[in-house]
């Protein structure tokens, strides 16, 4: 069995082989890029694009360097570094001046808000997005500090930006008042599999083919959590236990079926695992690029949407902390792999085109999707697919419900 076809739950000593399907090795050494003079966001993008990470960011006043720009870096540009090393940054807060007042930017478009903030000597801080049924797409929902707050020059203003209205949701209460949120995925069609010439893609993601869903279906807003598993099954098999909101891990495909049987007995509806086609359709969310956030050829935005090898610290994380996809589904890539109902087939020749699970002919392995905390960036692509034996479990494997 080649490395590119290892089961996704395999646990190997060599870190580059921990994740099934991983090809290529991290470079033995890297050269630290020059980010002095860049804005902080651009510097972070440049570092992650070369497989390095921003380290400690220190803000200081400067009479010569504009607010938000990098004054110095450590290690310096040109220094040798290892894959995943951090680069500490010193960032300008601009000249020290008399206290100023935070402007009102709620309701503005994001670009207008950023202009209003920087025009009074402040910097744009953390920008997060969320769905909102009343605030138009791309407009500011809230800001921190609020308008009228007295601050120093160079201080950040954090923004919450609307992603527009989300899809219809249903919240089901499990025993112990544990919520389970299901999102209605609309009927429609999409092209499943890798597109021609897709970077970092594999032959088992072909041929690309059209799949049509005549009816809507529901998919979990989040992966099944340890709290939800405990509520239904009365135990917790997870290796990374202790945080109820983390995804349940160390569950085989057979274990997932046992959970679904117990859940269905509670009378809240008929739950199941998603088909592989349903999973990819929901992951793509009406996009046709490598990732649901774009082609991202340099892997610069993976960490915004996914827990993976460069930001996970080798553990799982509570669901819902990363930015959702356009349909409001969280953690569709990274954290833990997600079992699908289908038997594994070596490519899509003869695959169903109606979105149903591919269960004939019977195989020996079941499909897994989405990548995990120990996976490289390419495994977070929407088309990437993998497999493992249905009786196997690992601390990289979980699941998401459909109905």
Per-residue pLDDT reduced to its tens digit, 137-153: 889 999 999 999 999 88
**pLDDT of 4:** 35
pLDDT above 70 covers a percentage of the chain that reads: 93
Residue 6 pLDDT grade (very low, low, confident, very high; cuts 50, 70, 90): very low
Q: What is the mean pLDDT of residues 313-329?
A: 96
Q: What is the mean pLDDT of residues 275-292?
A: 97
Q: What is the reported pLDDT for 187?
A: 96
Is there a contact between 209 and 353 (Cβ–Cβ < 8 Å)?
A: yes
Same domain, 230 and 352: yes
Q: Is residue 26 part of a domain?
A: no
**Which pLDDT score is estimated for 20?**
44
98: confidence class by pLDDT, cuts 50, 70, 90: low
- Same domain? For 141 and 178 the reply is no
pLDDT at 22 over 60: no
Q: Which of 114, 130, 162 is the last residue of a domain?
A: 162
Q: What pLDDT, on the 0 to 100 scale, is given for residue 13?
A: 29
Whether 139 and 263 map to the same domain: the answer is no
User: 293 or 164: whose pLDDT is higher?
Assistant: 293
The secondary structure of residue 227, as a DSSP letter, is H
User: Confidence class of residue 15 from pLDDT cuts 50, 70 and 90?
Assistant: very low
Q: Is 322 left (phi over 0), alpha (psi -120 to 50) or beta?
A: beta
Determine contact, residues 329/183, Cβ cutoff 8 Å: yes
- What's the rounded Cα separation, in Å, for the pair 235 and 227? 9
- Peptide bond before 179: cis, by omega within 30 degrees of 0? no
Which residue range(s) make up the domain with 146?
100-162
Residue 97 backbone phi and psi in degrees, to 5? -145, -175
Of 20-24, 179-183, 234-238, 253-257, the one with minimum mean pLDDT is 20-24
Q: How confident is the model at residue 26 (pLDDT cuts 50, 70, 90)?
A: low
User: Are both 225 and 323 inside the same structural domain?
Assistant: yes
Picking from 162, 181, 198, the residue at the C-terminal end of a domain is 162
Region 175-198 average pLDDT: 98
Q: Are residues 144 and 214 in the same domain?
A: no
Residue 262 belongs to some domain of the structure: yes
Q: Are residues 227 and 347 in the same domain?
A: yes
Residue 222 and residue 319 in contact, taking contact as beta carbons nearer than 8 Å: yes
pLDDT for 164? 83
Same domain, 116 and 252: no
pLDDT score for 97: 60
List the one residue out of 260, 214, 228 whose CA is nearest residue 401. 260
The mean pLDDT of the chain is: 91
Instruction: Write down the pLDDT at residue 198.
Output: 98
pLDDT (tens digit per residue) in 99-155: 789 999 999 999 999 999 999 989 999 998 888 889 988 899 999 999 999 998 889
How many domains, the chain? 2
133 shares its domain with 213: no
In a shared domain, residues 226 and 106? no
Predicted local distance difference test score (pLDDT) of residue 7: 55
pLDDT score of 233 = 98
270 and 252 share one domain:
yes
Mean pLDDT of 27-54: 89
- Confidence class for position 63, pLDDT limits 50, 70, 90: confident
Q: Which of 115, 140, 162 is the last residue of a domain?
A: 162
Q: In what order do the strands lie in the sheet with 140-144?
A: 123-130, 156-162, 140-144
Sign, Cα dihedral of 301, 288, 223, 6: negative
Quote the pLDDT of residue 348.
Answer: 98
Coil vs helix vs strand at 378: helix
Could you report the per-residue pLDDT of 345-365, keeping only the tens digit for each? 999 999 999 999 999 999 999
The pLDDT assigned to 96 comes to: 72
- The closest alpha carbon to 396, from 281, 340, 321, 314, belongs to 314
């Amino acid at each position: 069995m080649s490395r590119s076809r290892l089961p996704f739950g395999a646990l190997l000593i060599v870190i580059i082989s921990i994740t099934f399907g991983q090809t290529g090795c991290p470079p033995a050494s890297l050269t630290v890029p020059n980010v002095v003079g860049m804005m902080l966001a651009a510097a972070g993008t440049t570092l992650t694009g070369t497989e390095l990470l921003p380290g400690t960011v220190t803000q200081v006043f400067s009479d010569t360097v504009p607010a938000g720009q990098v004054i110095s870096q450590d290690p310096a540009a040109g220094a040798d570094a290892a894959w995943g090393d951090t680069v500490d940054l010193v960032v300008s807060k601009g000249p020290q001046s008399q206290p100023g007042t935070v402007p009102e930017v709620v309701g503005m478009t994001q670009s207008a808000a950023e202009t209003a903030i920087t025009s009074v000597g402040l910097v744009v801080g953390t920008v997060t997005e969320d769905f909102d049924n009343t605030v138009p797409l791309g407009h500011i929902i809230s800001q921190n500090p609020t308008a009228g707050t007295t601050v120093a020059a160079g201080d950040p203003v954090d923004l919450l930006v609307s992603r527009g209205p989300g899809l219809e949701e249903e919240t089901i209460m499990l025993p112990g008042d544990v919520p389970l949120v299901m999102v209605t995925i609309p009927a429609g069609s999409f092209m499943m599999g890798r597109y021609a010439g897709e970077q970092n893609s594999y032959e088992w993601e072909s041929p690309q083919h059209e799949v049509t869903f005549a009816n809507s279906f529901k998919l979990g807003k989040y992966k099944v959590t340890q709290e939800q598993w405990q509520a239904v099954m009365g135990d917790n098999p997870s290796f990374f236990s202790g945080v109820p909101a983390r995804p349940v891990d160390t569950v085989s495909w057979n274990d997932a079926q046992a959970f679904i049987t117990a859940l269905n007995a509670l009378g809240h509806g008929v739950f199941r695992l998603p088909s592989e086609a349903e999973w990819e359709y929901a992951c793509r969310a009406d996009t046709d690029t490598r990732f649901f956030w774009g082609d991202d050829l340099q892997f610069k935005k993976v960490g915004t949407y996914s827990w993976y090898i460069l930001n996970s610290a080798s553990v799982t994380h509570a669901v819902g902390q990363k930015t959702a996809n356009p349909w409001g589904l969280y953690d569709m890539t990274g954290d833990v792999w997600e079992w699908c109902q289908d038997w594994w087939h070596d490519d899509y020749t003869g695959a169903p085109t109606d979105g149903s699970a591919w269960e004939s002919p019977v195989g020996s392995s079941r499909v897994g999707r989405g990548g995990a905390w120990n996976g490289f960036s390419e495994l977070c692509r929407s088309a990437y697919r993998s497999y493992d034996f249905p009786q196997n479990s690992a601390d990289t494997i979980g699941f998401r419900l459909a109905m």
